[in-house]
Amino acid sequence: MNLAKIKTELLKLKNNALIKKETWQEFWDKLHSGQPLTKTERNSEHMCAFFLPVHRTTKSVYLIHHIKGADWMPPGGHIEPHEHPLLTVRREYQEELGQSLAQESVELIGLTIKSITNHPLNYCTKHYDFWYAVWVDKQHDYSWDRREFHSAGWFEIASGINKIQKNPDYQEVIKNLQANHFYNRP
């Protein structure tokens, strides 16, 4: 993982009023800990990237019902060694939704830290999640990964927020998107 590029990405959100300062600081401290930052490097506390497909016209978001996570959330995945979070988004978009990103605008919109305790066979104990909005002009009929998800679909943004039951920080990122990003797009 290129630390300089990851730090640059994180610095984009340093003074963002929508990002909890303690969350930003914990990310920063993790980057400076000297520990491996990826699951592949056998660290149970590692970096991930969510991507939230957002359809401007219908003001809707695409969420998945994650099998291991046992909740609705955006698609995403583990950042690989030497991979920038944006490359993770591009790779996971193809792997999880069956499509490649082309001209879509991708924007860093948030950070969350998720302690994982609900899955005994899961190696992960904590995820440091970068959140990206993927602004799409069409509600794609994605071929989502049935090995990882119970279900998936497009939801009007308020309905999408209500679908998320176990992760209030995830709800908060989407609420911030709704209030401060979503309606300001051309």
Q: Which domain holds residue 52?
A: 3-184
The whole-number pLDDT of residue 2 equals: 73
The whole-number pLDDT of residue 24 equals: 97
- Kindly report, residue by residue over 127-153, the tens digit of the pLDDT: 999 999 999 999 999 999 889 899 999
- Provide DSSP, 21-46: HHHHHHHHHHHTS-S--STTTT-SEE
Give 120's contacts (C-beta < 8 A, 6+ positions apart). none
Specify the amino acid at residue 58: T
Q: Helix H segments across 12-146?
A: 21-31, 85-97
- When pLDDT is cut at 50, 70 and 90, the band that residue 74 belongs to is very high
22: region left, alpha or beta (phi > 0 left; psi from -120 to 50 alpha): alpha
Residue with tokens 């005994």: 120
Asked if 76 and 35 count as a contact pair (C-beta separation under 8 A), the reply is no
Q: What is the mean pLDDT of residues 88-105?
A: 94
Give 5's contacts (C-beta < 8 A, 6+ positions apart). 84
Give me the CATH number covering residue 18.
Answer: 3.90.79.10
Rounded-to-integer distance, Cα 36 and Cα 47, Å = 10
Extract the tokens encoding 16.
């963002």
42 has a pLDDT exceeding 70: yes
Residue with tokens 């308020």: 158
Q: What is the mean pLDDT of residues 80-95?
A: 93
The whole-number pLDDT of residue 185 equals: 46
- Kindly report, residue by residue over 117-132, the tens digit of the pLDDT: 766 556 788 999 999 9
Distance of CA 68 to the CA centre of its chain: 16
The whole-number pLDDT of residue 186 equals: 44
Q: How many domains does the chain have?
A: 1
